[in-house]
Amino acid sequence: MAQQRGSENPDQPSLPTRPVGGTEYGWCKAVPGGTGSTVLSLLLSKPPQIPHLQNALHKLQISHPILRSKIHFDTTTNTFQFVTPPNPRVQIQPFDLQSTSQILQTQANDHDSIDPFHALLEHEMNRDTWRDPNDVDVMYASTYTIDEKRFAVFLRLHTSVCDRAAAVALLKELLRLVAGRGGEDGGGGEVKGGEKVNLAIEDLIPEGKKNKPFWARGFDVLGYSLNAFRFSNLSFVNADPPRSSRIVRLQLNADETKRLLDGCKSRGIKLCAALAAAVMLATWISKRLPDYQTEKYAVVTLMDCRRLLEPVLSSSHCGFYHSAILNTHDVSGESLWELAKRSYTSFENAVNYNKHFSDMSDLNFLMCKAIDNPGLTPSSSLRTALVSVFEDLVIDESTEMHEELGLEDYLGCASAHGVGPSLAMFDAIRNGKLDCACIYPSPLHSREQIQGLVDHMKRILVDGCNSENQ
């Protein structure tokens, strides 16, 4: 229920507030440590028109009130709240050619030389926007001039108000607005220009779906905790802090992508299972273990619950409405499709047993415990799984509008160097080709290590499809 928060200035009206839900609270705890800065990035061949872009962002904040909220920490109750001003507030921070060059030089000095667009994406993911999580905006925007023909636009959002489904919808809506095609009202029930802030996912779970006896909840929390000590991890290169998020991309051509999707469809599984299986196999192979030796890997599958809530929400409804399902698998070098099928069956069984709702508070509790007590994780690494994947596939075929805008490349992902997996996979099919942003914590893992892992994953996926067709 929204509340009215008192203003320090008696002449100003009180602002609508809402306490964060359990999942949102977890993100408010995680983001200052480095996990949960969602970044939408655009690479353009035309310079962005700042006033036009600013106006488009303000329209997004009007359509989606939660995007103009601030996060307030109440010291008296030790809780977080969303406080929502009535007017859009985001202001674009522009970086000219000289400023951008200085940032890129810093990135090049600190890390291996990479594509400037990727370097700026890493820079945005690692900005200390929410280090002090009190009374901070949930959305920021920046533009960069890379050279005379390349320009970058970044939106940086607090993950508690923007999960992947919302990020995809926001990106499409922003592109429509910038292209002058008008923005479709994607508020999912919000009143345009109103002050209503979306409810938390816990408030929308159907009656009885999240119920679990007290003893069962305690047993499950204990089970998750004990199992975590048995997880194997990708080898750590340097466990010393500080850490930051880095990116390596996994890309397949159109023919490879079609064969991979056909292989998944013929087995009744989703792409997320094949990606998770490839990560597990590449990790197992990287350790050069004997064939008989197994390792237990944890996979987190993130599931968009909007269609399962009451009321049902549209995919463009801003907020965090994903649920995490944690499964473990014993791996000893089996085939890609065998492991992918086993992985997807475990996920389906968990959904059938309603664990996406009933285990939600358990996993949120354990995530917060890991944040508060990193020593409970191996080498204080804060690694809770080997890999995270998304159940649903993002498909984009908007070639015509992209050419009109001069859009050369774009990515959406989130930081993961605080609590989280060793590899967070953000996959999409763009013009028939798989493009996956693989986010990892550095220097816990090195770029060379992850690039080698991703290259091996690609071989496993391609070879798995080729052997099937022979």
List the CATH number of the domain containing 336: 3.30.559.30
Domain final residue pick, 147, 179, 199: 199
Domains: count for the chain: 2
Contacts of residue 309, Cβ cutoff 8 Å, sequence gap at least 6: 201, 204, 205, 206, 321
Q: Is the pLDDT of residue 187 over 80?
A: no
**Same domain, yes or no: 94 and 154:** yes
How far apart, in whole angstroms, are the C-alpha atoms of residue 254 and residue 163?
27
pTM above 0.75, yes or no: yes
**Same domain, yes or no: 84 and 218:** no
Domain final residue pick, 199, 224, 256: 199
pLDDT of residue 326: 95
**Same domain, yes or no: 305 and 195:** no
Q: What is the pLDDT of residues 283-322, one digit of tens each?
A: 999 999 888 899 999 999 999 999 999 999 998 899 999 9
Query: How much of the chain exceeds pLDDT 90, in percent?
Result: 76
How far apart, in whole angstroms, are the C-alpha atoms of residue 440 and residue 282?
15
pLDDT of residue 222: 58
Tell me, what CATH number does 38's domain have?
3.30.559.10
Mean pLDDT of 220-233: 70
Q: Which among 428, 419, 359 is positioned nearest to 396, based on CA atoms?
A: 428
**Same domain, yes or no: 225 and 187:** no
Query: How much of the chain exceeds pLDDT 70, in percent?
Result: 88
Domain final residue pick, 144, 171, 199: 199
**Same domain, yes or no: 383 and 348:** yes
**Same domain, yes or no: 415 and 392:** yes
pLDDT of residue 469: 55
**Same domain, yes or no: 296 and 441:** yes
pLDDT of residue 159: 97
Higher-confidence residue of 124 and 362: namely 124
The conformational region for residue 354 under phi > 0 = left, psi -120 to 50 = alpha, else beta, is left
Q: What is the pLDDT of residues 91-104, one digit of tens each?
A: 999 999 999 999 99
pLDDT of residue 131: 87
pLDDT of residue 399: 73
**Same domain, yes or no: 444 and 340:** yes
Q: Are 286 and 456 in contact (CB under 8 A)?
A: yes
Q: Are 29 and 371 in contact (CB under 8 A)?
A: yes
pLDDT of residue 9: 43
Q: Is the pLDDT of residue 426 over 90?
A: yes
pLDDT of residue 193: 39
Full residue range of the structural domain in which residue 419 is found:
202-469
Q: Is the pLDDT of residue 185 over 60?
A: no
Tell me the angle at which helices 360-372 and 214-228 cross, rounded to the nearest 10 degrees.
Answer: 50
Q: What is the pLDDT of residues 91-148, one digit of tens each?
A: 999 999 999 999 999 876 555 678 999 999 999 999 989 988 788 999 999 999 999 9
Structure-token pair, residue 366: 């354990």
**Same domain, yes or no: 324 and 248:** yes
Q: What is the pLDDT of residues 429-443, one digit of tens each?
A: 999 999 999 999 999
